[in-house]
Each structure stands twice: as structure tokens, then as C-alpha cells.
Structure 1
Amino acid sequence: MPGGATASMPASVYRELPIERRRVMMLGLRGIPNVQGGVEKHVEMLAGRLIAHGWDVEVVGRRRYLAVPAPHSWNGIRVTPLWSPRMMALEAIVHTFLGVCYAALRRPDILHIHAVGPALLVPLARLMRLNVVVTHHGYDYDRQKWGAFARRMLRAGERMGMRLAQGRIAISRDIADTMGERYRVPVSLVPNGVTVSRSSSETGILGEFRLTRRRYILLAARLVPEKRQIDLIQAYAKLGNSGFDLVLAGGAEFAGVYEEEVRALASRVPGVVLTGFQTGDRLAELFANAALFVLPSSHEGMPIALLEAMAHGLPVLASDIVANRQLGLPAGDYFPLGNVDALSSAIAEKIANPPDEQEVLAQTERVEAVYSWSSVALKTLDVYRAVTK
């Protein structure tokens, strides 16, 4: 046809061009799904919500932590394993370096780096012309496991992340305010969320460890010094024959002195049960049937495990560190960090006065309303849009 055939083509031939989905790559964590750690839980839950909002999400994990060693899809999320050395001091930084190089090839709209250690590679990401968002999950240089050099590197990572990333997120008000004052940059507050798995099926974990419903005290945390499992075991031992077990759910990433100390002390105190790392329905069943949740830690960013316990309606006890205090719990839910006698007395008071059903329901509803992952996703997307506009 003169003038071009397309001029008289029927409308049915035309198709609406697909809208290109934005892509975000998550880096700085061990991986997902069901990998132990607060950052890992945060990314697992956030990524699913971002998918629902029309984003493509790729999570770059450390191969040795992942069940599938090759790139694969999980719940619509692309999970890409990369090699990392089996050395505590080098694992995160080497993996993040490889991840940034991989991101330079993949060219996501956003490279979202989690935690201050991996943020040490933000300058490299910027040199590669990537749009970078950093989430500050806590003052990792305060963790007891690090030596002087590692602490300096973590502080340098915080500085690089806060000064050079285009978008900055903090998971608590204290971190957001401190970073804003320290580096004179805007930092968005996006707290952790919580979700409660209410599976009606029994996994058998209570029978496996000979536990009785509402007759055990629970701590779910990695076996690392800042979680202070030893304080909790010592406080539990002071209760004597209380009729309650103490369940410590969690494992260690690397074999070390602290893990050995926890296991040795647990073996000497009757009633202490070490379950190892638990996740999914098995962990949910431990939460759902506990009498009390205790978090005696000396370091937290924003304690997801404590939020999960509260969302299950459990009475809780937490050390009086800033991160725990910012949840605004009643005074009776806190005890002085490291005070074993005070912790023991507080445990005795809690198990002697369990909450009624109305108190449990009210707590569950409040936590789920305030700390929803849907809200976390929306606030995170606000940061992404500001960076890519």
C-alpha cells in the first residue's frame, strides 16, 4: 500500500507495549529462604512484598548457606548463590565485592545493600554507576566477636554507606537519628516488620524435645556472645525446680569458644534444651506454645524475634538496651542488662502470673497493626522512587 502498509492496519494488530518492571538486587546477607539471622528474615519478608508491588527482586546469597547451589526462583524471587570464603572476618566483605561486580553486569535499577559491613563496598558500586540504597540494621561494630581492626572496618562501612549511598534506611529511630546527626544526611526510618505463621498442623517438635505446652521459657537467637544465652541459663538455674524447661533455639555460624561454653553450661543445668536452628512451622510451633519469651541480648538493631513473640501473644522479658526500649514495652517487661539475679526474679514473676486471653489478643492485634511488612515495603519503595526519579 502506498504510504506504508501500517497506515491502514486494523487496530486489533496493535498491542500495548508491556511496562518494564523495575528491578532491585539485595546484597549483604547470607541468603533466603529460611537462613538464620535478622537481616535474612528482613530481606525474605520484604522481597515478597516488593514482588507483589510489581518489582523484580534478585537476592544474592552466600552459596554455603543455601539449599540450592545454583541460581533459582523461590516464590517469584530470583536467588543467586555466589561463592564466599569460610572465614568469619572475610566472608561478608569478599562476597559483597563479588556481588557488586555481578550487579555491574546485571544493572538493576537499585542495588540494595544490607548492613554496615557490606556497605564498605558502596564506593565501588557508585564507581560502577549503580543506584545504591543502604539499610543500617544495627551497630555491628559493637558486637563482642569483633577485634579492633574489624571494628574499624565496620565503622568505615557505616561511614561509606551513609555518605555515599543515594538512599539510606535505618530500622530504628535511634539509628536514624544517630546517623542523621553523625553524617548530616537524611536517613529514612523503616522499622522491621513481623508476620505470624499460624499453622494448624503439628510438626512434632514438642514431642521430639519432650516439651509440654505452656511449660517452657523460650529464646530464639543465634549462639553468639551478644545474645547472652549464658546469662539466661544462669538466671534459669537460680529458679530451682520451677517445673518449666528453658528452650534455646538457634545455632552458631562458626564453631567457637562461646558456643562451647553455652553447650557445656546447658549440659550441667537440668531442664535446658538446645534445639539447634529452627525455622518455618517448627519455629512457629515453639513460639505458639511457649509460656514466656526472653531476650537478654546486649546488642540488637531492631529485634525481630521479640516482635514475633509479642505477635504470638507471649509475655516477654527483654534487656533494657536502647533497641529493646524503643519498642515501648511496660516497665515490668525489662530487666537490667547482665543482671542475672534481676532476670531470674523477673522470670519467676512472669511465669507465676500468665496473661489472660484478652491480654494476649490485645497484644497480638497491636503488634500486627504497627509492625506490618506491607508498611515496610511501602516505605522502602518510597526510598527507591526517590533514588530513581
Structure 2
Amino acid sequence: MSVVFACVDADTLGGVQRVTHTLAQGLAGRGHEVHVIGLHRAATPFRYVDRPLYHHHVISRRPMESRGLLAGRRAGRRLRKLLGDIRPGYAVMTSPAVVARMAGLLPAAFRRIGQYHGSYDHARGCWHLGSIKRHYPGLDQAVFLSEDDARLFSEHALLPNAWALPNPLAHWPAELSALDAPRVLGVGRLEGVKRFDRLISAFARSGAPPPWELHLIGDGTELDRLREHARGEGVGDRVVFKGLVPSDRMPAEYLNASVLGLTSGHEGLPVVLLESAAHGVPSVAFDVSGGVRSAGSLLVPPGDVDAFAAALGGLVASREERRRLGAGARARAEAFRLDHVLDGWERLFAHIRR
């Protein structure tokens, strides 16, 4: 049977897309017929896999924001035709928006799986929870990123079909950080939801002395504002904005870091937290989801910048504590290795078949 992954767009630089291509390549490598479908063209496409073993399709050549009624109908017809040409199997719809649009178009022979890459707390703060309550109960399975979130959705969204499967690590590094470099690392889009302003403030208040620096990897609309914020916090000369870093150079960034900081307003299970842990780098994170709790080293109350600064300062001051927490992070990250997560997906497919 085939496996279809569908995203609103499949090629934007983002966590959902990255996880989708990692799973698609992994399952295709195990002999499954795998298709990745983007309902819309990405405005700035990013290539995740150099030699994909899976099929890749884009339904609408227009970005999501340019969609009109007529274009939507044409795209619906193209999607129906494509699905009719694919061997029946499992359709994994990666967000509430995809489930709402696509579930009714699937041929009856497809088993329908709805993913959610956020946390329950995030869903209940926006339209996602209402859409999940409306559209996910009728699916064959609803998949969440942690046991905590699956339980919360099961109880509060009355889902009879909740299941937990984490995001995978695409690679398992053999080399670990020595945790000697005076560097705190932040990775992600420089956008409001990632709240890098809080990470900059926490770094400034942590007491980290020179030559300690905060390196931020990513690009986005908040760059200029964050530069100004760093100057205002008195650390403008110690916050390094590195821009986008190709994926093949990211291991070097982790190996040259001693602490990872994660200050997002909400997260499901961020891959950056898993990657840093796999390299033996401890993290400080806001306790915003079951996924973060499953992988983070030190957790502080959401939004509490002073508590974050204190935790960060403690790690900056103690190499032994960094080593202790880094070893624990690496041990926990074992559960997220790609083969383990692929095993979980195949167990899910077998469960649905029964």
C-alpha cells in the first residue's frame, strides 16, 4: 500500500515540511511507495532531500495567499485525479487546514490520518482546536507529537482515535560537543512566534561574561528589530546573527555550542531541540508542550525571562552541569532516532489495518 503525505505547501523552510520529507525518505527507503503532495507552491522553495526516493507533487502553482474560488476548484480536480492514480494506502494530512480541505476528496480505499504538529495548549488558543474537534474524530487516526498532548486532545477534544508519534531525527551524530566553547545557540525563523527577543534578554541577564556569545541561526522579518533589541540590552557586540545555515553545516554549529536556548511562544516538538540533544548539548526551554518536556534539559515557566536567565546562567557557569545535562539529553534523544520513529509509523499502519 502507498503512503501519501499532504501539506498546505511541502517546500517552505519549516518544521512541518522538514519532518514530512524526512519521514517520506525514510519510509521510501524501507520499500514503501511514498508520495509528498503540496497543495500550493511554496513562495520560496527549499530542497530537503538531494536524492528523494519518493514522488513529489505540487497541486496549485500559486502560493496559498493568491488562491481564488476558480483556482480552488481547478486544484480540487487536479488533486482528485492525482489521488485516483495513486495506489490505495494511507493518507497522512499534516495539519487541520489540510484535513479540512482534503479528507472529503480521498478515495474510499485510503485510510485517513490527521497529524497535528502543535501542542494542545497552542491549539486551544486559536482556531486549530475547533477544527480538530470538527474534522479529526471521523479519521482513522489522529496523530500528535507526545503522549501528554495525545491524552489532552483525547480528553478535551473527545477524540476516540488519538495516537502519539514524535518527530524524527534525520541523522544520528557520532561526534558530541565538548561543551567548552563560550557560545549559546538559538535556531529558528526570526519571526515573532519564536520570541528571540526573550532569548536575547535572558542572555543579557544571565551574567554570561565575555567571551560568551549568543549565536542566532535563521532569517526573517524580525532581524532588524532583534539587532536593535540586542543593542538596547547592552549585548549588541555579543549577539551574532548568522543568517541561514545549510543543513550540512548545522552539525558544526551544534559541536561549537555549549547550550541551546528555546524561547518560542509555542512549540510542538521542535527538531532543533532533538538535534542539539543528539550532539550532547543541553538546553534551556520554556515549558510549552509535552513534546518540549520529552526532549528539553532545563524547563522554566512559559514567558518567565528572569527564570530563563537564571537557568542559562547556571549552565554558563558550570561545565560539569553542562556535561551532566548534555549526557541526559543525548540518552533521551535515542528515542527519536529515525529508525525508531519509522518503526512507530509502521506499527500505526498495522494497527489501522486491524
The TM-score bracket by the shorter chain reads: 0.7 to 0.9
Q: Deviation digits for residues 257-295 of structure 1, max 9, x if unmatched?
A: x55532432465221122223242212211111011011
Residues in 1 aligned to 2:315 and 2:322: alpha-carbon distance in whole angstroms: 15
Structure 1 position 161, deviation (Å): 3.9
CA RMSD in angstroms, aligned pairs only: 3.6
Report the residue type matching 1:242 in the other structure.
P
Q: Deviation digits for residues 321-358 of structure 1, max 9, x if unmatched?
A: 2335631756xx12222222222222221111124897
1:187 aligns with 2:187: no
Structure 1 position 141, deviation (Å): 8.8
| TM-score computed with the length of structure 2 as normaliser | 0.81
Residue in 2 aligned with 1:16?
none
Residue in 1 aligned with 2:314?
349
Once the two structures are overlaid, the 10-residue window that deviates more, 359-368 or 290-299, is 359-368
1:73/1:225 CA distance change after superposition, 3 Å: closer
From 347, 371, 375, the equivalent of 2:336 is 371
Residue in 2 aligned with 1:172?
146
Residue in 2 aligned with 1:217?
184
Contact preservation (8 Å) 2:120, 2:289: no
Residue in 2 aligned with 1:265?
229
Structure 1 position 98, deviation (Å): 7.5
Contact preservation (8 Å) 1:104, 1:128: no
Secondary structure at the counterpart of residue 261 of structure 2: strand
Residues in 1 aligned to 2:137 and 2:197: alpha-carbon distance in whole angstroms: 38
Contact preservation (8 Å) 1:107, 1:130: no
Residue in 1 aligned with 2:4?
25
Residue in 2 aligned with 1:228?
195
Contact preservation (8 Å) 1:117, 1:158: no
> How many residues end up aligned between the 2 structures?
339
Contact preservation (8 Å) 1:134, 1:165: yes
Residues in 1 aligned to 2:270 and 2:352: alpha-carbon distance in whole angstroms: 28
Residues in 2 aligned to 1:224 and 1:89: alpha-carbon distance in whole angstroms: 22
Once the two structures are overlaid, the 10-residue window that deviates more, 333-342 or 258-267, is 258-267
Contact preservation (8 Å) 1:135, 1:170: yes
Structure 1 position 39, deviation (Å): 1.4
Q: Percent of counterpart pairs with the same letter?
A: 20
Residues in 2 aligned to 1:156 and 1:129: alpha-carbon distance in whole angstroms: 27
Structure 1 position 110, deviation (Å): 1.8
Report the residue type matching 1:231 in the other structure.
R
From 8, 31, 34, the equivalent of 1:54 is 31
From 249, 259, 266, the equivalent of 2:217 is 249
Contact preservation (8 Å) 1:24, 1:55: yes
Contact preservation (8 Å) 1:298, 1:337: yes
Contact preservation (8 Å) 1:26, 1:59: yes
From 136, 143, 156, the equivalent of 1:162 is 136
Residues in 2 aligned to 1:37 and 1:354: alpha-carbon distance in whole angstroms: 32
Residues in 2 aligned to 1:75 and 1:130: alpha-carbon distance in whole angstroms: 23
Structure 1 position 299, deviation (Å): 0.7
Structure 1 position 381, deviation (Å): 1.9
1:97/1:290 CA distance change after superposition, 3 Å: farther
Which of 1 and 2 has greater Rg? 1
Residues in 2 aligned to 1:24 and 1:136: alpha-carbon distance in whole angstroms: 17
From 81, 90, 94, the equivalent of 1:110 is 90
1:306/1:41 CA distance change after superposition, 3 Å: same
Secondary structure at the counterpart of residue 302 of structure 1: coil
Q: Deviation digits for residues 134-170 of structure 1, max 9, x if unmatched?
A: 11211499389x9xxxx43x33432344222222211
From 281, 289, 293, the equivalent of 1:326 is 293
| TM-score computed with the length of structure 1 as normaliser | 0.74
Once the two structures are overlaid, the 10-residue window that deviates more, 23-32 or 38-47, is 23-32
Structure 2, unpaired ranges of 5+: none
Contact preservation (8 Å) 1:118, 1:157: no
Residues in 2 aligned to 1:96 and 1:307: alpha-carbon distance in whole angstroms: 36
1:24/1:264 CA distance change after superposition, 3 Å: same
Secondary structure at the counterpart of residue 136 of structure 2: helix
